[in-house]
């Protein structure tokens, strides 16, 4: 499998000896460029066009994050898989109200399914599980617009997040989900994880013929690659939340891994490393796929989700979102 | 697959060989590289090497294993951790 690289220290990416070097003040490391698929950059990194040109030859995507670990943008080499046909059909599905709601509903349905899956095995969260079930079962038949669907999703998510207090360590008590900026450790973790999964999904979309800016659940006018927000909905509870539970309940992450200031809170460098390592090993975990009859990693499932969407757009097979069966 | 590469090359060409191997593998010791690689990329790497080395003077050994676990690597003394994905 192609590697994902995370750069958390400060230094310079440079093209030398026909490969890529990462140089810090006291260390020089060569990167085996042939095996790299994407690089996430968190530190202060210098690079020049010579390096960028070389990186683009290998189709490597660079994701940049700002000081606080929020996604800032990506460097995408020239897209190799383009298909006007698929893009036009994708846009048609956005324009048709019925078709758009169908797809948006699929994403939310799968997200809710995975949220419930996370809670199902926890005794403490049973009441919340029932509450989510009620809210969802009652709400899902009365959806006539995207905004109503978003509202329902928001309500479900609120119940879901409030259940976290029941089974996470006391240090990580969460009153409510807060973003921009996150005010307490658990919000910081969720935000950081979500921005990582967001760019991972973007990488996978990039390797397919889909256009990342035409989305269905989120409005495409948000100046972002919103299709990856849509697909991330499925994988946020499935990947990010399970990683958070594992790290917190095993006390691998504690309050000392967070920098807290007056009214915000972020993971520090040490904490980021722990989190990234766990997330990466989660993404590489494989599951036996029932139809394909081979092992597929969580990252592979993201790609499969894209292929399923393409099949849906070209009228080959109706899209049914991933629902973890294992 | 997991591959260990060792080489013994005439000084005139050793840098060329090292630079090629750096693209595909992680450097672990003087004249030793290792890393995970696909079959296609391994062939590509071998082809590149063949265009550089003199067949009757130089040699490059490839130890090819199907899985990394088969290798059962043990280290005495210092282990350089050059293949971690977090820098």
In this predicted structure, what is the pLDDT of residue B8?
A: 87
In this predicted structure, what is the pLDDT of residue A97?
A: 82
- Mean pLDDT for chain A overall: 82
| Residue among A39, A37, A40, A7 at smallest CA distance from A24 | A7
Q: Is the pLDDT of residue A95 over 80?
A: yes
Better pLDDT: A326 or A47: A47
| Angstroms from B56 CA to nearest CA on chain A | 26
Percent share of chain A, pLDDT over 90: 0
pLDDT digits (tens, 9 = 90+) for B38-71: 888 889 888 888 888 888 888 889 988 888 778 8
Structure-token pair, residue A138: 């009652």
In this predicted structure, what is the pLDDT of residue A1?
A: 63
Q: What phi, psi does A294 have (nearest 5°)?
A: -150, 170
In this predicted structure, what is the pLDDT of residue A221?
A: 64
Q: Give me the count of residues in chain A.
A: 326
Q: What is the mean pLDDT of residues A98-108?
A: 85
Q: Which residues of A touch B34 (CB under 8 A)?
A: none
Write the DSSP symbol of residue A240: I
pTM over 0.95: no
Q: Is the pLDDT of residue A222 over 70?
A: no
pLDDT band at residue A174 under the 50/70/90 scheme: confident
In this predicted structure, what is the pLDDT of residue A73?
A: 80
CB nearest to B22's CB, from A8, A19, A22: A19
Q: What is the mean pLDDT of residues A97-121?
A: 85
In this predicted structure, what is the pLDDT of residue A218?
A: 78
Determine contact, residues B37/B71, Cβ cutoff 8 Å: no
Which domains does chain B carry? Answer: 2-69 (3.30.70.240)
CB nearest to A17's CB, from B22, B25, B82: B22
Q: Which residues of B touch A280 (CB under 8 A)?
A: 85
Q: What is the mean pLDDT of residues B4-29?
A: 86
Q: What is the mean pLDDT of residues A76-102?
A: 82
- DSSP per-residue string spanning A17-52: TTEEEEE-SS-EEEE-GGGEEEEEE-S-EE--HHHH
The rounded distance, in Å, linking the Cα atoms of A31 and A7 is 12
Residues of B annotated in the binding site for Mg(2+), as ranges?
8
Q: Which residues of B touch A1 (CB under 8 A)?
A: 36
pLDDT digits (tens, 9 = 90+) for A111-160: 888 888 888 877 777 777 777 777 777 777 777 788 888 888 888 888 88
Residues of A annotated in the binding site for Mn(2+), as ranges?
153, 218, 233
């Amino acid at each position: 499998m192609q590697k994902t690289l995370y750069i958390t220290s400060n230094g310079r990416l440079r093209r030398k000896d026909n490969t890529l070097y990462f140089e810090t003040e006291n260390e020089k490391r060569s990167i085996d460029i042939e095996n790299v698929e994407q690089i996430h950059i968190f530190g202060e990194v210098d690079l020049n066009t010579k390096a960028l040109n070389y990186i683009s030859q290998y189709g490597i995507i660079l994701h940049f994050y700002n000081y606080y670990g929020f996604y800032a943008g990506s460097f995408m080499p020239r897209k190799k898989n383009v298909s006007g046909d698929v893009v036009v059909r994708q846009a048609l599905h956005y324009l048709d109200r019925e078709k758009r709601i169908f797809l948006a509903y699929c994403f939310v349905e799968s997200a809710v399914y995975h949220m419930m899956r996370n809670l199902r095995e926890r005794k403490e969260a049973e009441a919340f599980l029932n509450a989510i079930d009620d809210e969802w079962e009652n709400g899902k038949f009365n959806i006539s617009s995207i905004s109503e669907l978003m509202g329902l999703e928001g309500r479900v998510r609120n119940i879901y997040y409030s259940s976290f207090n029941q089974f996470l360590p006391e240090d990580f008590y969460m009153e409510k989900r807060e973003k921009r900026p996150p005010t307490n450790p658990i919000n910081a973790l969720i935000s950081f994880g979500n921005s990582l999964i967001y760019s991972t999904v973007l990488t996978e979309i990039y390797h397919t013929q889909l256009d990342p800016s035409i989305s269905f659940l989120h409005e495409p006018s948000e100046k972002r690659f919103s299709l990856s927000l849509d697909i991330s909905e499925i994988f946020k509870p499935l990947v990010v939340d399970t990683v958070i539970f594992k790290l917190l309940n095993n006390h691998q992450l504690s309050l000392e891994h967070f920098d807290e200031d007056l009214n915000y809170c972020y993971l520090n460098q040490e904490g980021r490393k722990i989190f990234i390592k766990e997330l990466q090993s989660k993404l590489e975990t494989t599951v036996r796929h029932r139809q394909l009859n081979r092992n597929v990693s969580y990252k592979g499932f993201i790609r499969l989700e894209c292929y399923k969407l393409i099949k849906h757009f070209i009228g080959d097979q109706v899209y049914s979102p991933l629902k973890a069966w294992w | 697959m997991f591959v260990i590469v060792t080489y013994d090359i005439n000084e005139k060409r050793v840098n060329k060989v090292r630079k090629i191997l750096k693209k595909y593998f992680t450097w672990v010791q003087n004249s030793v590289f290792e890393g995970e690689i696909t079959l296609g990329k391994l062939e590509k790497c071998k082809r590149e090497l063949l265009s550089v080395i003199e067949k009757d003077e130089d040699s490059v050994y490839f130890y090819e294993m199907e899985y990394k676990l088969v290798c059962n690597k043990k280290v005495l003394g210092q282990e350089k951790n050059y293949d971690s994905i977090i820098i």
